[in-house]
Chains A and B, each alone.
Chain A
């Protein structure tokens, strides 16, 4: 089956400046988080994917078509770009209506779809207001409506949460999750890692124009063998528990966090430690109040992946 989005060895240079380098990746239905710091190449990658930038090398396919050459494929793509370009004199509804008419919809259908999209992003009450009077957050939501009003199969969102208030962010993340669950292929970029962490575990990490890792964040974490896994526990008797755990062969290090009654365990074999921990809890009757994996998340994985690079460059 042809993947909805496929990039093969794609590079983009702006003169002598590297945008992205040698990226080969396939996006499948569901939400993929595109993560990286500012200037990492996230926007370039999305623009190349959307056919708005010509790749210097490699090829991009959306449903098997080259988006740069075959513009009809844009009917199936929704792109929310990072710019803020609108026609301030138009109302939100008119702007979306014009956009949909460019997709080939007849006037009445375009108007109906425009109102549906505005309703979806929570701008129905502002539909007849001029865009010039919209706040930054409302403009972001309008961009989102613009990207999805024509019911695309592939949705590319470049920093859609920037400038939104917390309620707007929550609403947008819910929408993105919904589109992913509906079977749409959604790529969402952000440099705020915890937002994406809450949305999806399927990630692409990019830094300095290079793809660092892609796939399920937990699987990616498992592949980082040079960094021991961390397990954090809180219980009533942390010292006693620590003394038992240090004896476990797979435990590399145990440190106490006396102020918070916590223990931080480092291990290269977390599954074995979890098994042993269960035995200890049963045998000793230890009551554990909290257990987390502080480095099994997007932020920690990204930090591990970029640490060496930062050290190199620094």
Chain B
């Protein structure tokens, strides 16, 4: 019998802060997505998103240089101004791009790990289930913020510096916070919904179908209930309307007629969105386990 050395070899590395580690999952997944087969589609989507922002930026430029419009006899006073609604519209205009990006990038995020039984690879590291999910959420949230909050804030700053001046920033000082808040909520909800769907199945394509089905289904449900009860109050079920209503509230547009026509407040819309996100997160928590138990 050999006599074993009884002392333990201590771990020699210098660990990075805990919060930092889940970013490794995000970073490697993003690099995989942008080097894989779908790279060209992703680039196309990002270019489309960039083009939309470019149009808004061009509008800002033109409004700051009104003589260009006057040259072509365009009545400047009849054109919409650059105000809170302008920036809300800039974010809302990205809704379709966000949806497509979420479906393409997120469908396989957990489904593929479940199919390949790869979850133990993560959870046999000093990572919790929450950190694993945060890492996956980051894969969706960062690009979503990259096509909503970041360019919209850039347009805001350029307008402020280019022509808006002190008066603009004093009037709309809360807009940057509103832009970030709305974008973060969109990213959190879309990410949680997609990850939830991805955690329910083992094929990314089916997860995509589930999300599209949920999106269409809950809107149809809202419409049917509105029809049956001859009321508009069931609009609150529709997350599409909730986000718009929330946007009007966050951007200080409570006074506009559109906001008045909604049968629920911005706060109620925020509550529904947060509840839906929490529900997705709860299902995720239940679904993601280090070891797949087949009964």
Residues of A near any B CB (own CB < 8 A): 1, 4, 14-15, 17, 28-30, 47, 50-53, 63, 71-77, 79, 81, 83-87, 89-90, 94, 98-99, 101-106, 109, 146, 150-153, 180-184, 201, 216
Contact = CB atoms under 8 A, between A and B. Distances in A.
A102 B21 contact: yes
B123 A52 contact: yes
A49 to B, nearest CB: 11
Interface in B110-140: 113, 116-128
A183 B8 CA distance: 7
A29 B127 contact: no
A87 B118 contact: yes
A86 B126 contact: no
Contacts of A146: 121
A153 B7 CA distance: 10
A181 B124 contact: no
A100 B9 CA distance: 18
B246 interface: no
A29 B6 contact: yes
B24 A79 contact: no
A90 B127 CA distance: 21
Contacts of B122: 102
Interface in B19-47: 20-21, 24-25, 28, 32, 35-36
Contacts of B25: 102
Contacts of A150: 11, 13
Interface of B: 1-2, 4-9, 11-16, 20-21, 24-25, 28, 32, 35-36, 113, 116-128, 290-291, 293, 295
A186 to B, nearest CB: 11
A161 to B, nearest CB: 19
Contact of A50 (B13, B16, B118, B124): B124
Q: Please classify the interface of chain A as helix (H, G, I), strand (E, B), loop, or mixed, using the class held by over half of its residues.
A: loop
A151 B12 contact: yes
Contacts of B32: 87, 89-90
A1 B118 CA distance: 35
Given A86-B116, A104-B126, A17 B295 contact: yes
Given A28-B4, A85-B118, A104-B15, 13 more contacts: A29-B4, A47-B120, A71-B127, A74-B126, A79-B124, A81-B120, A99-B125, A102-B122, A104-B14, A153-B8, A181-B2, A183-B4, A184-B9
Given A53-B291, A103-B125, A180 B4 contact: yes
Nearest to A48: B291
A182 B2 CA distance: 11
B13 A103 contact: yes
Q: Please classify the interface of chain B as helix (H, G, I), strand (E, B), loop, or mixed, using the class held by over half of its residues.
A: loop
20 contacts: A1-B6, A17-B295, A50-B124, A52-B124, A52-B290, A53-B291, A53-B293, A63-B8, A81-B124, A85-B116, A87-B118, A89-B32, A89-B35, A90-B32, A102-B24, A102-B125, A104-B21, A150-B11, A181-B4, A216-B1
B125 to A, nearest CB: 4
A47 B291 contact: yes
B117 A83 contact: yes
Contact of B5 (A50, A71, A83, A182): A182
Closest A-B pairs by Cβ, 10 of them: A85-B118, A104-B15, A83-B117, A85-B116, A52-B290, A183-B5, A79-B124, A102-B125, A101-B24, A74-B126
B290 A74 contact: no
B121 A85 contact: yes
A290 B24 CA distance: 60
Contacts of A74: 124-127
B4 A84 contact: no
Nearest to B13: A105
A66 B8 CA distance: 18
B15 A75 contact: yes
Contacts of B2: 30, 181
Nearest to A75: B11
A181 B4 CA distance: 6
Contacts of B13: 75, 103-105, 109, 150
Contacts of B20: 104
Contacts of A181: 2, 4
A75 B15 CA distance: 10
A63 B1 CA distance: 24
A225 to B, nearest CB: 23
B123 A86 contact: no
A231 B130 CA distance: 59
B126 A102 contact: yes
Contacts of B1: 201, 216
Contacts of A47: 120, 290-291
Given A87-B118, A89-B35, A104-B13, A4 B8 contact: yes
A106 B118 contact: no
Given A81-B124, A98-B28, A181-B4, A104 B118 contact: no
B116 A183 contact: no
Contacts of A105: 13-16
Contacts of B5: 29, 182-183
Contacts of B120: 47, 52, 79, 81, 83, 85
A94 B14 CA distance: 20
